Structure 1
């Protein structure tokens, strides 16, 4: 394989805007824009250098391109120099285990030197093509199954919104959130290292702990004991809000269930303490309902969708249903029952998706051991792919 990394040129979005065109501009995981002129005009294989989830077997690391193109410095550029089917190599590099090759503490990187050490055993070109033909026939069936499961998950998400819309938003009378809150307790920055805290250590939660509708205590960073402030410790029953997150999840709330000790609020999290007569679980549901989510999204600030912010004033101005405690508890009971059924359906979808992923990994393992074609002995006599 020829490595054409020396011909890559990064171009920022502002400059690309001044150079409109019809040439695809590629990055680590795919096309990220357009530009006026090409750097390449041939069949190539791109392998992420950074910005790729190398250790997630479900994520792609390599992809093929053809025709006029421009590639930035986040993807290695590979050209086949000998009898190599690029489809075979693409599947192989997406299956390969990158542990020991991709490294980095905050952002994984596959250096060119590390890439050149990747062992790729190549059978004869006819065998490569046969493997790919059989492999892609089976993978197309798995892709169809995944498309069905994706559609099922979208229906589950729609059901979840409908439950909140019909169970929580059915009351026309509204009140500002600030009228229901006794106080807001903001977290603070404690620093912290990348690894999660051990049970005996203090940790500070990341925004991902409050992103998915449930509190995920494992999403934290260890904090030295001398920096910890117990006033910010998270307790069971706390209602937390992520004040900074992506545009889809900024202002997301979670109700803390049973949790470990020594977890701290971060500077991107808020603790809402309701007035007596306001149920915290109902308030969490009200903030998760579509109308509240839209209000939060509309009032969020920030220039990038990847990190939006909601101020305390804007959050407290969000309007939620104005109902009595008895009505709140009745709504919680109704929503719990409906969500229980939806959760069972969602669990079945996730289990099926995990099975298709396992089947995909098994299929690829069979392909690259020779078992797929029944000619595993051929791989004992293959050559190694050489990068230069």
Structure 2
């Protein structure tokens, strides 16, 4: 451990608390009311009895969240998937300080197992923490409460922005497909919008793809996975190989400007479309997608906007079959009959320009939000690190050194009679 601030000491975790576990309460044993039960991820339900009278610090000791820290409510049952740090020496440290110092320290070094991570009492036997003088601990915990509450508020605001951007993009699409987006542009111009269907603006008919068995080894033929278009944009990394040669002249090979429509997926995603903008003849497409191309009277990007609108997406969901348990599907006729409101090519060009401009703005904001989120995620650890370097709050040379407190509690515990351990829960 690096050099400690004046008055601080290094303490073994087991010198100030005793890790304990109780019986695992299965989900079938949980009740609708009673005492809160804490499991690996915090609160999981209620039970008729409790293990702890007072708030207690616990460590998740099994599973993917191994090492997470929680402070229980008073009168709570701490399930066996979490380990309670009992018999806390309050003359030496507080529950809040202990949580923060363990959070800053991290518990990766006491977690064993990869398939099933776990923390045991034995794992914790050599764990040490930085212990400040007791009154300084109070100042540190209070300051951390204040600062980390502000960080949490900031996180909540940042986390809400992606949903706002999603709604913004949806509103742009709705305005574009309905003509509201170009109302000002249309002044003194002919508002030549025609109510038609997709069949009138695409070449021929939409065609299903082909889905032979995929293979694990590399071949000359790549077929797209459904996830390649689920986001509404083409993702070229989502593909698999098939061990079958597809003739170069086959319609299955994709070319830039092809519109791919998911003809089968969950109800949320059925009918989602994307424009293929990859290299020609690099991928074939699967049977769960249809392919079509725009006629000369419609721009590809404008058709994609129409297909992405709430009106058309709802139309596909309402007309999908197999919604009762099976994967919902839309057929060729349903796709061809999808409603399209078609303006002039000049206005289509303006609509696409404005949508791309607004989406580029949203993309830039989204990138800034992601960068800010990364910085905020690091901020908590930076604040904790500063706190346990002794730099967050003023130090007072008159504070009783932590080493004196620690020796006193060791002496008291050594002289105290051994209490009989009971596993019986209070009621």
Same fold per superposition (TM over 0.5): yes
Any gaps of 5 or more consecutive residues in structure 1? 55-59, 384-388
CA offset at residue 163 of structure 1? 0.2
Q: Normalising to structure 2: TM-score of the pair?
A: 0.60
1:131 paired residue number: 140
Of 79, 102, 105, which residue of structure 1 is paired with 2:85?
A: 79
SS in 2 for 1:82: coil
- Give distance in 2, aligned partners of 1:297 and 1:202: 32
1:333 paired residue number: 353
- Give distance in 1, aligned partners of 2:349 and 2:127: 61
Deviates more, 1:122-131 or 1:171-180: 171-180
Q: Normalising to structure 1: TM-score of the pair?
A: 0.65
Within 5 Å, give how 1:108-119 maps onto structure 2.
109-113=116-120, 116=123, 119=127
CA offset at residue 372 of structure 1? 2.9
Any gaps of 5 or more consecutive residues in structure 2? 1-16, 180-192, 247-251, 396-400, 407-427
- Give distance in 1, aligned partners of 2:35 and 2:351: 54
- Give distance in 2, aligned partners of 1:217 and 1:115: 49
- Give distance in 1, aligned partners of 2:211 and 2:33: 47
Within 5 Å, give how 1:238-253 maps onto structure 2.
239=260, 241=262, 243-244=264-265, 252-253=272-273
- Give distance in 2, aligned partners of 1:343 and 1:256: 20
1:10 paired residue number: 26
Is the CA contact 2:21–2:83 (under 8 Å) kept in the aligned structure 1? Answer: yes
Residue 47, structure 1, aligned to residue 65, structure 2: no
Change in CA separation of 1:71 and 1:349 when aligned onto 2, cut-off 3 Å: same
Is the CA contact 2:22–2:78 (under 8 Å) kept in the aligned structure 1? Answer: no
Is the CA contact 1:101–1:110 (under 8 Å) kept in the aligned structure 2? Answer: yes
Change in CA separation of 1:9 and 1:261 when aligned onto 2, cut-off 3 Å: farther
CA offset at residue 130 of structure 1? 3.2
Is the CA contact 2:229–2:273 (under 8 Å) kept in the aligned structure 1? Answer: yes
Within 5 Å, give how 1:223-234 maps onto structure 2.
none
Of 285, 303, 308, which residue of structure 1 is paired with 2:305?
A: 285
Listed one character per residue, the Cα deviations across residues 3-25 of structure 1 (whole Å, up to 9, x for unaligned) are: 4544122215xx76xx4335445
Residue 185, structure 1, aligned to residue 209, structure 2: yes
Change in CA separation of 1:165 and 1:358 when aligned onto 2, cut-off 3 Å: same
Structure of greater Rg: 2
1:37 paired residue number: 48
Change in CA separation of 1:357 and 1:20 when aligned onto 2, cut-off 3 Å: closer
2:370 paired residue number: 350
- Give distance in 1, aligned partners of 2:333 and 2:116: 38
Within 5 Å, give how 1:248-263 maps onto structure 2.
252-258=272-278
CA offset at residue 165 of structure 1? 0.9
Equivalenced residues, count: 350
Listed one character per residue, the Cα deviations across residues 248-278 of structure 1 (whole Å, up to 9, x for unaligned) are: 6676544454589988878xx9433114426
- Give distance in 2, aligned partners of 1:203 and 1:91: 51
2:168 paired residue number: 159
Is the CA contact 1:243–1:250 (under 8 Å) kept in the aligned structure 2? Answer: yes
SS in 1 for 2:63: coil
SS in 2 for 1:337: helix
Return the structure number with greater strand share.
1
- Give distance in 1, aligned partners of 2:107 and 2:172: 42
